Amino acid sequence: MSRPTLHFWFEFASTYSYLSAMRVEKMAEDAGVDLEWHPFWLGPIFHAQGWTSSPFNLYPVKGAYMWRDMARLCADRGLPLVQPDPFPQNGVLAARVALLALAQDAAKGAAYVTSVYRAEFGEGRQISDPELIAELLAQSGLPADLIEQAGGDAAKQALKDKVAEAMDLGLFGAPSFIAKGEVFWGDDRLENAIAHLKAV
């Protein structure tokens, strides 16, 4: 009997995706469900909603709350938190590389994804920097030539296709989880998504 699959949709610029990325593998393993990582890009989705930036920038009170909330949650979970400047980061290169890395080796690709989040939100580093991406690939046991591949037409189209898929699924933010066709949005819905997968 095949195991159910949790689909984890994440955006590298997303603060709450950082929280989920740091715990989703263990939670899926403990629950006995498979996990698929889906990097995508929120920019076009936000633009379709009439937003020109992160809603946390467009609505300063909401942004201030988010950073305080992140500080509390990261402290509770033993995660470092450094607010990157600028915010949001440009995660397009990181996302294209992630798609390539996950296709080449799922485990190493997942290690690369979490390393990007640690660098971005744990250390405040610039994830649009190809030198940083090369460093993180090396740490994850992946070849540096994925950066060059990420600049090619096929990789660019792959990310566009991922955005289109996200829109077709009705995703409007990150992190999002798909469990048996149901959408669960937000790090605080990860447990609900896994419970839905496990329900008979």
The percentage of the chain sitting over the pLDDT mark of 70, rounded to a whole number, equals 99
pLDDT digits (tens, 9 = 90+) for 20-71: 999 999 999 999 999 999 999 998 888 877 777 788 888 899 999 999 999 9
Mean pLDDT score across all residues of the chain: 95
Q: What is the reported pLDDT for 54?
A: 84
Average pLDDT over residues 93-98: 98
Cβ atoms of 91 and 13 closer than 8 Å: yes
Q: What is the reported pLDDT for 48?
A: 78
CATH architecture assignment, domain 5-198 = 3-Layer(aba) Sandwich (3.40)
Q: What is the reported pLDDT for 51?
A: 77
Q: Does pLDDT of 125 surpass 90?
A: yes
Q: What is the reported pLDDT for 200?
A: 66
pLDDT digits (tens, 9 = 90+) for 67-87: 999 999 999 999 999 999 999
**DSSP code string of the chain:** -PPPEEEEEE-TT-HHHHHHHTTHHHHHHHHT-EEEEEE---HHHHHHTT-SS-HHHHSHHHHHHHHHHHHHHHHHHT------SSSS---HHHHHHHHHHHHH-HHHHHHHHHHHHIIIIIT---TT-HHHHHHHHHHTT--THHHHHHTSHHHHHHHHHHHHHHHHHT--SSSEEEETTEEEESGGGHHHHHHHHH--
Q: Is the pTM of this model over 0.85?
A: yes
